[in-house]
A and B are shown apart, each in its own frame.
Chain A
Amino acid sequence: DVKVTQSSRYLVKRTGEKVFLECVQDMDHENMFWYRQDPGLGLRLIYFSYDVKMKEKGDIPEGYSVSREKKERFSLILESASTNQTSMYLCATHAGVSGNTIYFGEGSWLTVV
């Protein structure tokens, strides 16, 4: 089975703090994604990466950056956390053209106070 691991499940951070959310996948997939999920808004794509050191903005990249130094690891960075970034963050991976299934990590619940 594909495993997508998000290292931090529950975090509470202060406004202005730098926040790192780590994600690791074990299936050698090229594509990795970061979404946030908010009630009534569904999942919204923040950033995605289709290869090491490659990244593309999603629909809501403002206030976020990402890092993909190794194929299996995709990190989401909040440079200066704000209260409107309180959300659940989901990392996902996808096999690309050859696959349809998206595999999600268990989610990281971030509260910014």
Chain B
Amino acid sequence: RKEVEQDPGPFNVPEGATVAFNCTYSNSASQSFFWYRQDCRKEPKLLMSVYSSGNEDGRFTAQLNRASQYISLLIRDSKLSDSATYLCVVKRGAAGNKLTFGGGTRVLVKP
């Protein structure tokens, strides 16, 4: 079993709709969680950190469920520009080398 798993998608989403997807992690020692966004043939960029209490950034909401060992990302009022691959990142220690990336979930927003 992979340490961090994501549904690869694609999630085909009508413009204006809501889409949500999860990322599961297997190591209970995981400490920090992030969502990165990666556009086609570009580098990943930090979208948002995921806090224990859940957090929101505009149309994006991230949640953490430690008991079931998953994080989620919800996108409301989807825009065409939200089309991208969303990478889940799990950090196990303070040092940056203990990062594990999920394979990514591809989201396609269509008019």
A interface residue numbers (CB < 8 A to B)? 31, 33, 35, 40-45, 48, 50, 56, 58, 90, 94-97, 99-102, 104-107, 109
Contacts and interface: CB of A to CB of B under 8 A. Distances in A.
B66 interface: no
A51 B60 CA distance: 36
A31 B34 contact: no
Contacts of A101: 46
Contacts of B95: 31, 50, 96-97
B42 A45 contact: no
Given A50-B95, A100-B91, A42 B43 contact: no
| B: interface residue count bin | 20 to 34
B40 to A, nearest CB: 11
Contacts, number: 58
Contacts of A97: 94-95
21 contacts: A31-B95, A31-B96, A40-B8, A40-B103, A41-B103, A42-B101, A42-B104, A43-B87, A44-B101, A50-B95, A50-B97, A94-B96, A97-B94, A100-B32, A102-B89, A102-B99, A104-B45, A105-B43, A107-B41, A107-B42, A109-B41
Q: B8, B101, B104 — which one has the most chain A CB atoms within 10 A of its CB?
A: B101
B54 interface: no
B7 to A, nearest CB: 12
